[in-house]
Amino acid sequence: MCDQDQTDMLPGSAPGTVTGAGQDGRLRVYARIDLDALLHNLSLIRDSIDPGTGMCCVVKADAYGHGAVEVAKAVTELPYVKYLAVATPEEGKELRDAGIHSPVLILSPSFPGSARTVVENDLTPTVFTGDQLLLFSRLAGEYGRKIKVHVPVDTGMSRIGVSPDDEGLSFVKEAYGTPGIILEGLLTHLSRADEAEPVFSSESVDQFREFCCKVAESGIDIPICHCSNSAAVHTISNSNMDMVRTGITMYGLSPSSEVTREDIGLRPVMSLHSGISYIKEIEPGTPVSYGGTFEANEDLRIATVGAGYADGYPRTLSNKGYVLIRGKKARVLGRVCMDQLMVDVTDIPEAEVYDDVLLFGMAEESSVAGGPAGSVPKAAKDGVGDTLGELQGNKGISAEELGRLSKRFNYELVSLVTSRVPRIYVRNGRAFLIKDRFGSRRL
């Protein structure tokens, strides 16, 4: 390999290493994952909890679309991150296969067919029925090991868990005495902590704390009692117990319209980019895209963009959304296709084929200046363009704004960016890794 600084190369420029790159090395679409922003967000969250309170970083759903392995590697460097959390045993196994040894909590029930995956990978399941206890007790004996479990308590979510009453207490006692089982934790999930006045969830916290006290009074010592989710960390002061679970806020997104990232000082971690593949001029009466739902009423200059709903750009943004090209808004024309979409660049005469197109997130310097699509932007190398509060106007398109336009949820937008979209990871202001489902390489 030559001595050229590879951060100055175009992602995909090494032949055959990144599927989807064009012949000149430019990528059709990519998601930039700013790990500096991730660590900044965790630092802010850490500053808002007691020094003795641990943190559980939620990396389920491929870290909300950001890439579970790389996110987990970054956050487990922090001494106060005590646990990772996933939704399924298979997600936990992915972390183990990547060499990540931190404790991993499975937030959802583990189906019997995946129980061996739990045990073989030293994962911590949530358990709240007798059948679950028996299954893991049997497997503990079979594998000759102890299995740590956490018991969820239902305080108003009506999803999973035991009730915070005598019946629930009986189950906790049963779990505590079950052979092969180590009862490490109790948890609850707050269903309305993201409200401006979280009265309901405050009452849920009180219920949970009272239940934990009853468990302690019965002679059972539970090392980890936890109930705070991302919103509760900031809205319910007495919810931060032995550990808090941070999910959406560590990715720099708002828990809700009532508890916003601006309130907390967060920086979005993901931005989604594509490029112009073609530009043409159309006359009045010319239809655009499937079904002809848009028809030009004047001469227009339109650009085809190399991203569609199979990449995670919502089809509900058809005739509603907009993108940024050279720092200017370009409205989406017609229906969003599976792999492409069309936008109006009539008022952006300087727009050219292969210009960067920002679909959502923070604008890179190259996006504003018109740098080539798929190149490692200067902002990715030097940390430019991440000033808090610039996700407006020509500086960016927030996931919250795009969610409003598409009638979807900001959680959905990042989580549903598909696996064929390469993720370019940035650390210390420089891009260092590109990964997609076809492979990965260092930059």
The tens place of each residue's pLDDT in the chain, 443 residues long, gives 333 333 333 333 332 233 333 335 579 999 999 999 999 999 999 998 998 999 999 999 999 999 999 999 999 999 999 999 999 999 999 999 999 999 999 999 999 999 999 999 999 999 999 999 999 999 999 999 999 999 999 999 999 999 999 999 999 999 999 999 999 999 999 987 777 788 898 999 999 999 999 999 999 999 999 999 888 888 887 899 999 999 999 999 987 666 556 667 899 999 999 999 999 999 999 999 999 999 999 999 999 999 999 999 999 999 999 999 999 999 999 999 999 999 999 999 999 999 999 999 987 544 433 444 444 333 333 333 333 233 434 579 999 899 889 988 888 999 999 999 999 999 999 999 999 999 999 99
Residues 302, 348: Cα–Cα separation, whole Å: 10
Residues 345, 352: Cα–Cα separation, whole Å: 10
Tokens at residue 224, please? 């980890």
Evaluated on CA atoms 131, 132, 138, 142, the torsion sign reads positive
Whether residue 1 lies inside any domain: the answer is no
Whether residue 336 lies inside any domain: the answer is yes
Q: How much is the pTM?
A: 0.88
Beta bridge partners of 344: 302
Whether residue 428 lies inside any domain: the answer is yes
Has 290 been annotated as catalytic? yes
Query: What is the per-residue pLDDT for 135?
Result: 98
Query: What is the per-residue pLDDT for 408?
Result: 86
Structural domain of 299 = 6-27+269-442
Has 176 been annotated as catalytic? no
Tokens at residue 266, please? 């967060």
Both 15 and 127 in one domain: the answer is no
SS3 28: coil
CATH number for the domain harbouring residue 206: 3.20.20.10
Phi first, then psi: what are they for 27, rounded to 5°? -85, 140
Whether residue 259 lies inside any domain: the answer is no
Q: How many CB atoms lie within 10 A of CB 240?
A: 22
Phi first, then psi: what are they for 404, rounded to 5°? -65, -45
Last residue of a domain, one of 200, 217, 251: 251
Last residue of a domain, one of 200, 221, 251: 251
Both 77 and 208 in one domain: the answer is yes
Query: What is the per-residue pLDDT for 256?
Result: 64
Whether residue 243 lies inside any domain: the answer is yes
Residues 72, 58: Cα–Cα separation, whole Å: 9
What's the total number of domains in the chain? 2
Whether residue 150 lies inside any domain: the answer is yes
Both 76 and 214 in one domain: the answer is yes
Both 180 and 237 in one domain: the answer is yes
Both 188 and 296 in one domain: the answer is no
3-state secondary structure 383-419: CCCCCCCCCCHHHEECHHHHHHHHCCCHHHHHHCCCC
Cβ pair 340, 304 in contact under 8 A: yes
Both 191 and 339 in one domain: the answer is no
Whether residue 258 lies inside any domain: the answer is no
In the set 143, 280, 290, 407, the catalytic residue is 290
Residues 241, 226: Cα–Cα separation, whole Å: 6
Both 219 and 343 in one domain: the answer is no
In the set 60, 82, 148, 395, the catalytic residue is 60
Burial class from Cβ neighbours inside 10 Å (0-12, 13-18, 19+) for residue 239 reads: buried
Q: How many CB atoms lie within 10 A of CB 345?
A: 25
Element counts in the chain: helices (H) and strands (E): 14, 21
Cα angle, residue 230 at apex, residues 228 and 232 outer, rounded to 5°: 45
Both 332 and 351 in one domain: the answer is yes
Both 324 and 209 in one domain: the answer is no
Both 341 and 317 in one domain: the answer is yes
Query: What is the per-residue pLDDT for 274?
Result: 97
